[in-house]
Amino acid sequence: MRLLYIALDPLKYPRIAKIAHTLRKYEDVEFKVMIPKFRFVWRGGKTGRILFALVNYLTVLLQIFFLRADLFWVANCPDILAVPLILRRKHYILEYRSPWSLEVENEFGVGPWVRLTAFFEYFALRYASIITLTTSRLMVNVKRFRKPIFVIPNYPLKSFGNITVSKEKFREHVGCLTDDRVALFLGKLSRVEGADMLPNIIQNVLNRADVVFWIVGGGPLYPSLEKFAKSFPRRVKVFGWRPHQEIPNFIAAADVCIAPRHRSPYSIFYNEEGVSKLSEYMFFRKPIVACGVADSEQYLLVGEDKLADGIVQALNGRVAPPQRRTWEQWSEKKIFEMLDLIHAAKF
């Protein structure tokens, strides 16, 4: 069976590599990924972004019309990617990652674009043969369609733990003492990822605790955070973007990990199943303090104004470490169950 994965920007979607890792263990499945032939980027205002998004969608939709496979696996956001397959009456799995209409509403406000994306979201779910979810929190949005549904959490592979140096050596490498207490922020330095909250949080914590903050990631807020860090040369280190293979070293060498987010209409859909950095923190069983995400037993959830208090609490050993969960342990078996169903149904 030839299974073809479709996403708007697959090279920026590490989950595909995990799926490929699993499918190599399953007989009679040839797994391929569609790479869009054209990709246009606009760095101006919202109107230009909408126009360039439409151009990107149209070129990808045209490419999808001519793809050949026994079964397709389509990542939503945008859900419009399923339209060519619906028109061609092809069987497809819908990877429902996030409510597209809510994302559009959060960025552009209520209006015709929200209604249009909600229509395509409904359309894609209705005609899917199977629905896969990155988190069980999305179940409330899809169960009414009465399709086979498989929750495949986005947990890290076991190989994620293959750190290259010891905690002591890594701390020495980045100029940090072995007995320093370290709080780690990992992620894109943007407002969406809560990086704009970091200066206030850090100043609040430094007034009450002896701790070093590591900020790892790139993004639009990098220059302002780098400038902020110069006010605390021994206590705040901004590392910028780092290759993913280096991330385990940072987490393993930290004492506490943080995941701040602003509250939004889809905060209820974010938890450790779908947010990669949360499950990567969990892999090394580091105490986690978070805000703006769904409740979970795996981290301390607080309000934005209580995040500094939570970090101090974690530094003092009063936040329980989370459980380690891996792709092979939790997610792989769900893919095997789905493939068994597909073979039995003879798609």
- Per the omega criterion (within 30 degrees of 0), is the bond before 112 cis? no
Residues 12 and 147 in one domain: yes
Give yes or no: residues 51 and 123 share one domain: yes
* Mean pLDDT on 112-119: 84
Note whether residue 104 is domain-resident: yes
Same domain, yes or no: 66 and 190: no
Taking residues 152-174, report their average pLDDT. 92
Q: Is the pLDDT of residue 116 over 90?
A: no
pLDDT at residue 324 in the model: 97
Q: Are residues 95 and 174 in the same domain?
A: no
Q: What is the pLDDT of residue 44?
A: 59
Confidence at residue 177, expressed as pLDDT on a 0 to 100 scale:
92
* Angle at which helices 332-345 and 15-23 cross, to 10°: 60
322 falls within a domain: no
Let me know whether 180 and 277 are in one domain. Answer: yes
Residue 233's CATH number: 3.40.50.2000
Residue 118 lies in a domain: yes
Q: Is residue 57 part of a domain?
A: yes
Please list, in sequence order, all residues whose beta carbon lies within 8 angstroms of the beta carbon of residue 54, skipping any fewer than 6 positions away. Answer: none
**Of all residues in the chain, what percent carry a pLDDT higher than 70?**
94
Q: How confident is the model at residue 78 (pLDDT cuts 50, 70, 90)?
A: confident
Q: What is the CA 145 to chain-centroid distance, rounded?
A: 25
Percent of the chain at pLDDT above 90? 74
Domain of residue 290: give its range. Answer: 158-315
* Confidence category of residue 21, pLDDT binned at 50, 70, 90: very high
- Taking the C-alpha atoms of residue 112 and residue 115, their distance in angstroms, rounded to an integer, is 5
Chain length of the chain: 347
Tell me the per-residue pLDDT of 146-158, one tens digit each, with 9 for 90 and over.
999 999 999 999 9
Question: Do both 113 and 132 map to the same domain?
Answer: yes
* pLDDT for the residue numbered 60: 87
205 pLDDT higher than 80: yes
231-239 mean pLDDT: 96
Residues 77 and 94 in one domain: yes
Give the chain's domain count.
2
pLDDT at 347: 61
State mean pLDDT over 175-190: 94
Same-domain pairing of 110 and 223? no
Does residue 279 sit within a domain? yes
Q: How many CB atoms lie within 10 A of CB 207?
A: 9
Cα dihedral 336, 69, 18, 174 in deg (nearest 10): 180
Q: What is the pTM of this model?
A: 0.87
Looking at residue 41, what is its pLDDT? 61
Task: Note whether 149 and 175 are same-domain residues.
Answer: no
CA 304 to chain centre: 20
Instruction: Name the E strands within the chain.
Output: 2-6, 30-33, 71-75, 92-96, 130-133, 149-151, 182-186, 212-216, 236-240, 256-260, 288-291, 300-301
Tell me which of 37-41, 94-98, 148-152, 302-306 is least confident.
37-41
Are 145 and 164 in the same domain? no
Task: Specify if 321 maps to a domain.
Answer: no
How does the average pLDDT of the chain come out, rounded?
A: 91
Residues 113-129: what's their mean pLDDT?
90
pLDDT for residue 52 is more than 70 = no
Query: Which residues, in sequence order, are bridge partners of residue 150?
Result: 132
Instruction: Say if residue 117 is in the same domain as residue 228.
Output: no
CA of 275: how far to CAs of 92, 127, 155, in Å? 25, 27, 9
| Mean pLDDT (whole number) for 281-292 | 97
40 with 187, same domain: the answer is: no
Q: DSSP assignment of 204-267, as one string?
A: HHHTT---EEEEE--STTHHHHHHHHTTSTTTEEEEE---GGGHHHHHHH-SEEEEE----TTG
